[in-house]
Amino acid sequence: MGLLDVLSSLRERGEKFLSEKNVVTDFLGAVEQRTGIKKKILAASAVSLTGLYLVYGYGAALLCNLIGFVYPAYYSIKAIESESKEDDTKWLTYWVVYGVFSLGEFFSDIFLYWFPFYYAFKCLFLLWCMAPVAWNGSQIIYNKVVRPIFLRHEAMVDNMVSDLSGKAMEAAENLTREGRRGPG
């Protein structure tokens, strides 16, 4: 699938979305009635302004994180409520990759913040990770990076978690015993 196919697919999905009844299309419909500007033009303008804001705007980090969180959270809830297991796996994969990315970003943010257009690229990355295509970013990153590392270290991590949970239980029991005895 080439770039033109992807763009065509995105355009078709956008047009399908604009023809559905939801909060966004209701709002765009009301604006269209007042201004006479087609919903398609309004939506394209909103996407363009969002892109410009991610490049130049104050608070681009918040906007980028909202984009990376709100849409996936909404569809994750829908996946939980659906009968299909396939959509659950898709969104769990996204959240694992999102978590790994966020952890890496936490430690490198001091350097990445100074990178020009960082939030625009981050937003594009997150959109790629949640894209409704088989080769989306979360599937590729999970299968090529996260899964092999996890499988290689799974037994060691399981042992560490087991040891830590045992020590936590032991500490909780000690605190409970000391609490029952009261002050010395």
Q: For the chain, what are the domain ranges?
A: 1-56, 58-184
Once rounded to an integer, what is the mean pLDDT over residues 10-34?
76
Grade residue 115 by pLDDT with cuts at 50, 70 and 90.
confident
pLDDT mean across residues, the chain: 82
Q: Identify which has the larger pLDDT, 156 or 64.
A: 156
Cα distance between residue 15 and residue 7, in whole Å: 12
Contact assessment for residue 71 and residue 13, using Cβ atoms and an 8 Å cutoff? no
- In whole angstroms, what is the distance from residue 126 CA to residue 60 CA? 14
Q: In which band, very low, low, confident or very high, does the pLDDT at 101 lie, cut at 50, 70 and 90?
A: very high
Q: What are the residue ranges of helices labelled H in 21-146?
A: 23-35, 39-56, 60-81, 86-112, 118-130, 137-141
For residue 32, give every residue at least 6 positions away whose Cβ sits within 8 Å of its Cβ, in sequence order, or none.
Answer: 38, 39, 42
pLDDT, tens only, 141-177:
999 999 999 999 999 988 998 888 888 888 888 888 7
With bands split at pLDDT 50, 70 and 90, how would you rate the model's confidence at 117? confident
pLDDT for the residue 151: 93
Structure tokens at 134: 């088989």
pTM of the model: 0.66
- With a cut of 90, say whether residue 184 has pLDDT above it: no
Farthest CA pair distance, the chain: 79
Name the residue among 40, 35, 46, 1 with its Cα closest to residue 17: 40
